Amino acid sequence: MSPGELQWASPAWMCALVGGVSLAAWVIALWPMRPRFAEAACLAVALGALDWILCGPQWVEAGERLEDGRLVVLVDGSRSMGVLEAGGAPRSDAVAGLLDRIGPAEVYTFGEKLREGAPTAFTDGDSDLGGALDALGRKYAGERLAGVVVLTDGIDRGGLRKRVAGGGANPLVTNGPLTVYGVGAPQGRTDLSVDGIGAGSFAFIRADFPIDVTVRGVGVVPPSVVVSLTRDGQPVGTAVATLGPDGLGTAHFVVRPDRPGRFLFEASVPSIPGDAVPANQQMGLAVKVVRDRVRVLQVCGAPSWDQKFLRLFLKEDPAIDLVSFFILRTGRDMNSGYGPDELSLISFPYQDLFDRELSSFDLVIFQNFDYAPYFESRADELLGNVAEFVKAGGAFAMLGGDRSFDLGAYAGTPIADILPVKLGVGTDAVDERPVVPRLTDAGARHPATQLTGDPADNALAWSQLGPLDGVNLVVSKSPGAAVLLEHPTLKGADGAPMPILAVSDVGKGRSMALMADASWRWSFSEAGSGRGNQAYLRFWKGAMRWLIGDAADAPVTVETVRENYAPGEQAAAMVRVRDVAYAGVAGVTVSVRVSGPEGEQDQSGVTDASGAARFDLPTALRGAHRVRVRAQGRSGLLGDAETVYGVTTRDPELDEVEPDPGFLAALAAGANGKFVPAGSFEPPLQDPAAGRLVHDRKVTPLGAHPAVGALLAISASLSWFLRRRAGLR
């Protein structure tokens, strides 16, 4: 350390100003001049101490010293370091022993980027050795290191290996002599893996959907591999992939989804002895299944204008596959003495329709249909099949008329259990007075009753529709149902307005009841303004979309933006909670559990004012992930939902599992360094002349010394005391 010198923290002009102000204060304090030498001396000492503090004098000692050069070690933390060696242990096990033998050093981990410390887990992807060495050079710029050591298997994804393999000049420059230790010995490893799944991002219900699974074999693997495919954990089937000279083969599957939704298909290959990377023996792919055409069963008890208009609407929609029955033959017709060839009425295959064929439909419509004259046997069983069809996810609609609801004797049947209205009004089950339905608050929000996009215009449109020719009467709405249209004057048994249009969720399915058989009159409501039958079409399109809606329209839903993600890609789930009238429910506690390769992860949150809550999802590891959601409100459980997503892009770190000692040897040679093969050890190269010049600067503040503060306090206090004693202020 060189001799010190006195420096001032404040500039010279400030020190002069402080001194001048202090002198002026001293003169003013002693005016008028008369002998007060003790007071003047004490005040001068106090002002001098204050000047000393304000000017900030400090004693500065400067010097420099030479420190020994530092040894820096870079450890490959990528997933390829976890590949199993011949003995069954991961190649990363060699790292700890090498670090112990190398000795004291500053250790860094590299993968996609450089970070301090030795790796605690080898999970990095896209290892970039060139980028790590560049970052190290910037960190120690201007300093000559004693040595730079690299521990890696040589599987580099950052481009340095390609440049070295290209035979060009080695661009690598390090801050010290380079020593490269190889980790993992080339030994002809065996690896059988699922390389990819070729399929579209969506499929159509009840349509063949091809899935091609590509298999890769390295080393000693069987020439033919049996590939298994599952859907949501349930077996779909197996197929054989024959490996070619390049080690690749393809297994072909054809699946036929039977319901809409998002499903997780997972392909896997069997384990084989000595497989180096067991983690890549399966791969998942999430597929969204949508409807190509909606299959509708329309059953009518008698021809009518309402039946004619609805049948025409359903037939003209190319997205609807309609099966319609009306003018049906009853048992009474068969017993009337006429033979089958003498009757023009068709035979009604009711047992086939409501037993074997029922599951093939998306929507069943009973339009002014009384079942009793047509169901000659098994009536309760077949109506029960319809109820179970709805609870399992189907859709059901009952339209009014003189053969519907209580007039069709449905009270007490399984159908009554799935309707959104309560039956049992007895014989007085109809009101024949014309009526214009009134839109409810729930109807203002529900998609089935949206005639226009603007709420005010929508309410006005409903008020201007033509009147219905009377309505069927019911006791009230069912528990949990929503009334979308109500009678403006009639009341139900509960005192609430009589429902005219009501909807409800039934298990996984949906049900709708329209207590009128004259919705066809809405076709003419806009005819006078030249807009044709748009109100009628918009109503039935909205009602159809809601009735056959998939899980996205359920009270509790969970969705991800995409079905499949790449490893490490950002993903999130959006949970929405709505009541039966489609209003968002705020303040609901949402519990989320994500099950996947990372294990089970639990999260929780609360819905916002719109009934939504967002959750981040893990994508670190490749594989199938299932998201389960439970919404809990003040009144209890509001519902469950689940979805799936896949992390399906093949991990590039595991595309190649063989170490590359040739690249490491060429890298070390190009930098005039040393390569130490796996399984051996030599001390790393070190430069004895390496070091760094450290500049030291010791600053001792003099103005902040406690003695100066004490001197200021004592002298100022004494000066004030003497002044007061002399009778001055």
Residue 655 included in any domain: no
What whole-number distance in Å separates Cα of residue 83 and Cα of residue 193? 13
Question: What is the C-alpha R_g of the chain?
Answer: 42
Q: Are 356 and 487 found together in one domain? A: yes
Residue 652 included in any domain: no
Q: Are 335 and 249 found together in one domain? A: no
Average pLDDT over residues 86-95: 83
pLDDT at 282: 83
Q: Are 336 and 257 found together in one domain? A: no
Which CATH number fits the domain that encloses residue 173? 3.40.50.410
What whole-number distance in Å separates Cα of residue 606 and Cα of residue 586? 8
Residue 579 has pLDDT above 90, yes or no: no
Q: Are 264 and 302 found together in one domain? A: no
In sequence order, which residues have a C-beta less than 8 Å from that of residue 285 and are 6 or more positions away? 197, 199, 211, 264, 265, 266, 267, 563, 564, 646, 648
Alpha helices in 589-705 (DSSP H): 661-670
As given in the structure block, the two tokens for residue 415 are 């159908």
Residue 713 included in any domain: yes
The predicted-structure confidence for 127-176, as pLDDT tens digits, reads as follows 888 889 989 988 888 788 899 999 998 888 877 888 887 665 555 667 88
Which CATH number fits the domain that encloses residue 582? 2.60.40.10
Task: Name the phi and psi angles at 440, rounded to 5.
Answer: -90, 175
Domain that includes residue 568, residue range: 552-647
Highest mean pLDDT among 27-41, 192-206, 561-575, 674-688: 674-688
3-state secondary structure of 628: strand
> In the listed set 273, 290, 307, which residue is the last one of a domain according to the structure?
290
What whole-number distance in Å separates Cα of residue 23 and Cα of residue 211? 96
Q: How confident is the model at residue 629 (pLDDT cuts 50, 70, 90)?
A: very high
Q: Are 302 and 430 found together in one domain? A: yes
Nearest to 601 by CA among 564, 631, 627: 627
Residue 553 has pLDDT above 70, yes or no: no
Q: Are 202 and 181 found together in one domain? A: no
Q: Residue 273: what residue type?
A: P
The predicted-structure confidence for 465-509, as pLDDT tens digits, reads as follows 889 989 999 999 999 899 999 999 999 989 999 999 999 999 888
The predicted-structure confidence for 407-457, as pLDDT tens digits, reads as follows 999 999 999 999 999 999 877 789 999 999 999 999 988 888 888 767 888
- What does the angle CA 616 – CA 617 – CA 620 come to, to the nearest 5 degrees? 130
Q: Are 372 and 423 found together in one domain? A: yes
Residue 335 included in any domain: yes
CB distance 465 to 435 below 8 Å: no
305 CA to centre of own chain:
49
Q: Are 394 and 481 found together in one domain? A: yes
In sequence order, which residues have a C-beta less than 8 Å from that of residue 456 and are 6 or more positions away? none
What whole-number distance in Å separates Cα of residue 285 and Cα of residue 625? 10
As given in the structure block, the two tokens for residue 73 are 């070690």
The predicted-structure confidence for 288-341, as pLDDT tens digits, reads as follows 887 777 888 999 888 888 888 888 888 887 778 888 887 665 555 455 444 555
Q: E strands, 313-354, where?
A: 320-325
Residue 653 included in any domain: no
pLDDT at 411: 92
Average pLDDT over residues 699-717: 75
Cα distances from 401 to residues 12, 47, 411, in angstroms, run 104, 107, 15
pLDDT at 34: 52
Q: Is the pTM of this model over 0.85?
A: no
- Mean of pLDDT over the chain: 82
3-state secondary structure of 653: helix
What whole-number distance in Å separates Cα of residue 28 and Cα of residue 461? 92
Residue 691 has pLDDT above 80, yes or no: no
Q: How many domains does the chain have?
A: 5
CB distance 153 to 93 below 8 Å: no
Residue 693 has pLDDT above 80, yes or no: no
Give the CA count within 13 Å in the CB-facing half-sphere of 210: 5
Residue 273 included in any domain: yes
pLDDT at 319: 76
What whole-number distance in Å separates Cα of residue 213 and Cα of residue 283? 9
pLDDT at 13: 60
What whole-number distance in Å separates Cα of residue 642 and Cα of residue 573? 10
Q: Are 398 and 357 found together in one domain? A: yes
Q: Which residues make beta-bridge pairs with 210? A: 254
Q: E strands, 433-475, where?
A: 438-439, 471-472
Residue 11 has pLDDT above 80, yes or no: no
Percent of the chain with pLDDT strictly greater than 90: 28
Q: Are 163 and 260 found together in one domain? A: no
The predicted-structure confidence for 641-679, as pLDDT tens digits, reads as follows 888 888 876 666 666 677 889 889 999 988 889 999 998
Percent of the chain with pLDDT strictly greater than 70: 84
Q: Residue 161: what residue type?
A: R
> In the listed set 531, 547, 563, which residue is the last one of a domain according to the structure?
547
Residue 273 has pLDDT above 70, yes or no: yes
What whole-number distance in Å separates Cα of residue 168 and Cα of residue 180? 20
Residue 654 included in any domain: no
Residue 471: other Cβ atoms inside 10 A: 27
Q: Are 539 and 557 found together in one domain? A: no
Task: Name the phi and psi angles at 698, rounded to 5.
Answer: -105, 125
Q: Are 130 and 229 found together in one domain? A: no
Which of 106-120, 228-242, 335-349 is the least confident region? 335-349
Which CATH number fits the domain that encloses residue 333? 3.40.50.880
Task: Name the phi and psi angles at 442, rounded to 5.
Answer: -65, -40
> In the listed set 520, 547, 574, which residue is the last one of a domain according to the structure?
547
Residue 348 included in any domain: yes
As given in the structure block, the two tokens for residue 449 are 């009753």
